[in-house]
Amino acid sequence: MANWEFRKFLNVLGFIAVVLIALAWIIGLAVGGIGFAKPGAFQGWLVFVGNIFAYFITAVAGYYFARSKRSIWYLITYIVAVVVIAVIVILSVFL
């Protein structure tokens, strides 16, 4: 039973993290631009790929929480947050 409770906790944490990451990206864009290092150096690419993996893992965990709720607003909030993250990460490559 403890395993199920821990999994639910991780799903809630993933959902909250996705929303907070999206808000952080929006605020970062409004204040001073995109926060990724320019991918010219090898280290910049390592950081970029590491962030992509972290966002993906967080998004997967948050999806199960959003899907488990009966309200459609959890799923809409999740989808908007993931789209914002994806668009800003893609834009950071080209800017």
Distance CA 27, CA 25 (A): 5
Prediction pTM value: 0.69
pLDDT digits (tens, 9 = 90+) for 14-58: 888 888 777 877 776 777 665 554 545 666 666 677 778 888 888
Residue 10 has pLDDT above 50, yes or no: yes
> Which residues, 6+ apart, have CB-to-CB distance to 59 below 8 Å?
14, 18, 82, 85
C-alpha–C-alpha distance, residues 34 and 46, integer Å: 17
DSSP symbol at 36: S
Please answer whether residues 34 and 75 qualify as being in contact, where contact means their C-beta atoms are separated by less than 8 angstroms. Answer: no
pLDDT in tens, 60-86: 888 888 888 888 999 999 999 999 988
